[in-house]
Amino acid sequence: MYQDIITYAKQLQDTCSGYRRDFHKYAETAWFEMRTSAIIAKVLTELGYEVLTGKDVCLEAARIEVPSDEELANHAQLALAQGAPAEYMTEDMKKGFTGVIGILRCGEGPVAALRFDIDALCLIEEETSNHRPWAEGFSSMNHGMMHACGHDGHAAIGLGTAEVLMKIKDQLHGTVKLIFQPGEEGAKGACTIVANGHLDDVDYFVGTHIAPADGPDDGDVTPGTYGSLATNKYDVYYYGQAAHAGGFPENGKSAIVAAANAVLNLTAIPRHSDGITRINVGTIHGGTGRNVIPEEAVMQIEVRGGTTELNHYMDEQARRICRAAGDMAGCECKLVPMGAVESQYSDEDFLEEIARLVETHLPNLKVSSCKNALNWGSEDISLMMNRVQEHGGKATYMRSMTKVASPQHTTAFDFDEQVLTAGVETFAAIVYSLLSC
Ligand SMILES: [Zn+2]
């Protein structure tokens, strides 16, 4: 059967490249992934999957940083004009309820969930002849939205995997959930899917991320990762009192003074002896004119920690300082949460099992010399993994290694598409190994 899986995956190279280039060309950022979701829903439905979309995927109350109704409506029109299949563009999807879950029920047995994130980044893609997507005509048509992290590839791997699993479904016993997650960037999407309970019955959970291979030692598959930083993000608003800066300054309460005090004191949070901590004030805006005491200011801040506990320490300090800085300037402080991620670990026995599976049954792929790699970023897959592990399930977050043209999150990012079928093969083989006995 493993040989069949390798063959099926290889046959899908052009199909997967096609999906990837299509998603790349019509890149969509968080909650705008309407065309992407409609296409995924169509493909899964036609393959024979039970398909969840709209509010059945993401819990409405858990969504954050949702664009305005007008922005969503405009994008829905654009998505249709760019060829989104109209019959799969539901009313909810047009309102930004993106993301799709495909379910394959094969009788009694464990539940395996695979996660593929599908969102693009807010970046303007490079338009030069040595950037392949531009040279070959599939660079982003949506200005300011670009797949620069490889999630177009993840979506393509998900659809390829769906096709292979459907071919081998008679050999499977249990349930497969293919989770196509919106809004990974900025940690917006996973929490809404977790909040809807989709991970509560999952026994085995696997995700992957396309990652740059440094050399031949890196192999093709890193079966596990650990340690991604826990993080909390906030928009911090200060509301003061406007006044004439020359005439009656005593009547004013400066929101900029509040924000400035917050910035200095946030960066002075004592570092923790237990491990990694981070703080960043990314943006700050305030005021209306030179001679007006500024009434409003807003900052985008984030804290991170090497563990969920260390992040909690930074979070408590940061919130206290933000509020106290407001008090000092007589301003009201409002903290609006903008995403949170926990730290994450892959189950050792599960990732070892995957390493053995690749070594034994997938001779065309090589396991990385480091089987469990350290993650330095933050990834909201941690929320899904932690939910599965909390009730005794096994989880791992892999890496699919490939050559890249430029680092992730840069405007010239591109990758070798061979990784797509390698990903399909790995996922399909893992599901087969879990559900065939
Ligand atoms: Zn990513």
Tell me, in angstroms, the distance from the centre of ligand 1 to residue 209's CA: 7
Q: Considering only 3-7, 21-25, 112-116, 377-381, which range has the smallest mean pLDDT?
A: 377-381
Q: What percent of the chain has pLDDT over 90?
A: 93
Where would I find the beta strands (DSSP E) of 95-168? 100-106, 111-117
Distance 149 CA to ligand 1 centre (A): 5
392 CA distance to ligand 1 middle (Å): 27
Whether residue 426 contacts residue 417, with contact meaning beta carbons closer than 8 Å, is answered with no
Going from the Cα of 66 to the center of ligand 1, the distance in angstroms, rounded, reads 19
- Please give the distance, rounded to the nearest whole angstrom, from the Cα atom of residue 150 to the centre of ligand 1: 6
Segment 314-331 mean pLDDT: 98
CA of 409 to the centre of ligand 1 (A): 8
Ligand 1 midpoint to CA 357 (Å): 25
| CA–CA distance, 99 with 193 (Å, rounded to integer) | 9
Q: What is the pLDDT of residues 373-401, one digit of tens each?
A: 988 778 999 999 999 999 999 999 999 99
Q: Output the CA 152–ligand 1 centroid distance in Å.
A: 10
Q: Is the pLDDT of residue 43 over 90?
A: yes
Q: How far does residue 151's CA lie from ligand 1's centre (Å)? A: 6
- List the single range of 36-40, 162-166, 177-181, 335-339 with lowest mean pLDDT: 335-339
With beta carbons less than 8 A apart as the criterion, state whether 123 and 146 touch: yes
**Gap from CA of 411 to ligand 1 centroid (Å):** 14
Residue 301 sits at the vertex; the CA angle it makes with 299 and 302, to the nearest 5 degrees, is 170
In this prediction, residue 407 carries a pLDDT of: 92
9 CA to centre of ligand 1 in angstroms: 23
* pTM for the whole structure: 0.89
What is the tens place of the pLDDT at every residue in 67-108?
Answer: 999 999 999 999 999 999 999 999 999 999 999 999 999 999
The alpha carbon of 28 and the centre of ligand 1 are apart by a number of angstroms equal to: 14
Mean pLDDT of the chain: 96
What is the CA(107)–ligand 1 centre distance, in A? Answer: 34
CA of 337 to the centre of ligand 1 (A): 21
The β-bridge relationship of strands 296-305 and 230-239 is antiparallel
Beta strands 100-106 and 174-181 are: antiparallel
> Which residues in 412-424 are b (16+ Cβ under 10 Å) and which e?
bbbbebebbbbbb
Ligand 1 mean position, distance from CA 61 (Å)? 24
Q: Of the candidates 101, 103, 107, 102, which has an alpha carbon nearest to the alpha carbon of residue 171? A: 107
pLDDT of 187 > 90? The answer is no
- Pair of tokens at residue 350: 């599960």
pLDDT tens figures, 242-271: 999 999 999 999 999 999 999 999 999 999
- Give the 3-state secondary structure of residue 274: coil
Burial of 340 (0-12, 13-18, 19+ CB in 10 A): buried
Amino acid residing at 380: D
CA 163 – ligand 1 centroid, Å: 23
CA of 184 from ligand 1 middle (Å) equals 7
Dist CA 426 CA 402 (whole Å): 14
The alpha carbon torsion through 82, 86, 91, 95 (nearest 10 deg) reads -10
**Is residue 216 over pLDDT 70?**
no
Rounded to the nearest angstrom, the distance between the alpha carbon of 341 and the centre of ligand 1 is 14
Q: How far is the CA of 323 from the centre of ligand 1 (A)?
A: 33
Query: Over 80: is that where the pLDDT of 347 sits?
Result: yes
Order of strands across the sheet that contains 50-52:
50-52, 100-106, 174-181, 111-117, 204-212, 394-402, 221-222
**Above 80 in pLDDT, residue 416?**
yes
- pLDDT of res. 66: 94
Q: What is the pLDDT of residues 126-156, one digit of tens each?
A: 999 999 999 999 999 999 999 999 999 999 9
Give the helix/strand (H/E) hosting 296.
Answer: strand 296-305
How far away, in angstroms, is 418 Cα from ligand 1 center?
A: 18
Cα-to-centroid distance, 86 and ligand 1 (Å):
28
Question: How far apart (Å, rounded) are the C-alpha atoms in residues 384 and 295?
Answer: 41
CA atoms within 13 A on the CB side of 238: 38
